Amino acid sequence: MLEPAFLLLCLVIVAALVFDYINGFHDTANAIATCISTRALSVKSAIIMAAVLNFAGAMISTKVATTIGKGIVDSSNVTQMVVLAGVTGAIIWNLITWYYGLPSSSSHAIIGGISGAVIAHAGITALKWAGLKKIIMALIFSPILGTAIGFIFMMIMYRVFRNSAPSGLNKNFRRLQVASAALMAFSHGTADAQKSMGVITLALVSYGTIKTFEVPWEVMVACATAMAFGTAAGGWRIIKTVGRDFVKLQPVHGFCVETASAGVILGASAFGMPTSTTHVITSTILGVGLSKRLNAVNWNVAKRILVAWVLTIPASALVAYLTYQVMSPLLGR
């Protein structure tokens, strides 16, 4: 019979990989929504490309994983139950927002989930406020940067190609958009798969399997694979919200959105800052839409997206807090 601590570790690993899988079809939908909506790629081709490049991106670095695993809480306050409840809270919130087609942030969900579970276990003083501040500032400012870069990039395109025929321009940019979509999918892998890497490594340190916080290569491969499979499952509900309902896009717009978003995400990942792919690409679409005119943006959809953004951290924290209270008497702390 398995010892309780080892059983909890196994449950944590499974839950983290499930989170990565859900993240694959939840957040990757944002990465490929624009190239599908502009018909630069078919749904099948876009999903296959994104799955492969998500895997590749996830294997590049572990800086974001380290930030997630060490920057939110002191590892001395982390137990297997804390990690399990935190990941479960993030999974539940992701499924709720996916069901309603809302592009919420998996980054926010896992941060809120771990924070809520730690508060349930050791109180609010167990949080690392300096680390949380750094993470939250990155998650706040990356959408602002995405909106600004998307707007500026699109205005430059208008200026450079103002005398070009729309039909020829869109034909050429449809080809270029395949490359920009590939870059976006790769950048998504560098940021999002690493959140589960950080969670699993944190659990391994807590259990005593490893002594210091260094992501094992086996964890990297497992998380990258889970995200790739999740990506292959697709995420049509969110693709529709981001790629069709929010702002009507042509290939030149999609190229600007994907290139600008990938630049923001890759830059942040290089510094170990866990940006939200969802927030960055949605805000970049907003910037591109605003470059056309104010009413090019579906403000009703924008309001729904904003509500999901604001609610994600407290909602996932609350779900994780309640999950901890329910699970801990059953499985032990």
For residue range 31-85, list pLDDT tens digits in order.
677 777 777 777 778 778 877 887 888 787 666 666 666 667 776 777 888 888 9
Average pLDDT value for residue range 131-156: 83
Report the amino acid identity of residue 4.
P
Those residues whose C-beta lies under 8 Å from the C-beta of residue 108, and which sit 6 or more positions away, are: 139, 276, 309, 312, 313, 316
* Predicted pLDDT of residue 73: 72
* Predicted pLDDT of residue 61: 67
**What is the total count of domains within the chain?**
1
Report yes or no on 332 lying in a domain.
no
Report yes or no on 174 lying in a domain.
yes
Report yes or no on 153 lying in a domain.
yes
Report yes or no on 330 lying in a domain.
no
Instruction: Answer yes or no: is pLDDT of 322 > 90.
Output: yes
Give the structural domain span for 73: 4-325
User: Around Cβ 56, how many Cβ atoms within 10 Å?
Assistant: 16
For residue range 162-173, list pLDDT tens digits in order.
777 666 677 778
Average pLDDT value for residue range 314-319: 92
Phi-psi region of 248 (alpha: psi -120 to 50; beta: other; left: phi over 0): beta
For residue range 235-276, list pLDDT tens digits in order.
555 555 555 556 677 788 888 888 888 888 888 777 767 677
Q: Give exposure, 92-125, as e/b (b: 16+ Cβ within 10 Å).
A: bbbebbbeebbbbbbbbbbbbbbbbbbbbbbeee
Average pLDDT value for residue range 218-224: 88
* Predicted pLDDT of residue 324: 92
Rounded distance between C-alpha atoms, residue 190 and residue 172, angstroms? 28
Report yes or no on 33 lying in a domain.
yes
pTM for the model stands at 0.76
Instruction: Answer yes or no: is pLDDT of 140 > 60.
Output: yes
Report yes or no on 136 lying in a domain.
yes
Those residues whose C-beta lies under 8 Å from the C-beta of residue 95, and which sit 6 or more positions away, are: 22
* Predicted pLDDT of residue 240: 57
Report yes or no on 13 lying in a domain.
yes
Report yes or no on 331 lying in a domain.
no
